[in-house]
Amino acid sequence: MGGWSRDDIPAQHGRRFIITGANSGLGAETAKAVAAAGGQVTLACRNVAKARTVAEQIGPAATVAELDLSDLASVRAFADTVDEADVLVNNAGIMGVPYGRTIDGFEMQMGTNHLGHFALTALLIPKITERVVVLSSIAHRFARIDVDDLGYDRRTYRRAIAYGDSKFANMLFGLELARRFEAAGSSKIAVLAHPGYASTGLLGKTETTFDYVMKAGDLLRVGQTPAMGALPQLFAATSPAARNGTYYGPRGLGGLRGKPTVARTRRAASDQDLRDRLWSESERLTGVEFPAV
């Protein structure tokens, strides 16, 4: 991959992208870069006002649609408005929030980061012609996921662990989707990415000592800009070289910063039984049965 950058994005003329959470941070940078290369982008966001500001910066190539991933009714309503798209980028996410429940009763981080995207992808997959990009995180390494207790009904809630659980769920979902595409002989692909340590609006809001670690990282300039952090998912979304079931992230400082390269997943990510159980539980909780891919 060498020193892949935004300048290496191939022409995207005629291609249509749906990018969740594109009102700020990594999603906004992804939308801007795709549109600059000629693509048409739908900014699917909960905060429509902020999304419109980004869309105005992009110009006619951008449209805004309301999507609240913590509300399955909103997910269904948005999916009903989509006719067809080439690429779905599952970018949106929340991090380190206090314990809370979504409208549908899910733990807030798992419900927003994983279950909302799972339902959205299931509803849109017949309309996606080329690829799905799933955004995970280096925090997946710290997950202690319990498929039988995704809502923290029995476990003690810890914000950082719950965030890691949700991002590991993203990873398990993306890898399993890729496996199912391959098994079905589909031309579609699922590609995974993570931004490393990108200084976005997600950081510094956990109200725990983790905030001080993040602040120290910024002061020491460990973190990178959202534009740099978006490179792995831009590669995953636009490059002909992106491979089904492959996980991309920054190459430097143990995956914290730098140009994109192939990243490593946890050994547990290859546990087929764990993937199958998460998939089934996600279908049960959301009430959305994933169609044949």
Pairing outcome for strands 247-252 and 257-262: antiparallel
Is residue 157 annotated as a catalytic residue, yes or no?
Answer: no
Of the residues 99, 152, 157, 163, only one is catalytic, namely: 163
d(CA 25, CA 201): 7
171, 247 Cβ separation under 8 angstroms:
yes
d(CA 17, CA 20): 10
Pairing outcome for strands 85-90 and 40-45: unpaired
The set of long-range contacts for 264-268, using a CB threshold of 8 Å and a minimum separation of 24, is 265/140, 265/171, 265/175, 266/140, 266/141, 266/143, 266/168, 266/171, 268/168
45, 66 Cβ separation under 8 angstroms:
yes
d(CA 72, CA 111): 9
Q: Which residues are catalytic?
A: 163
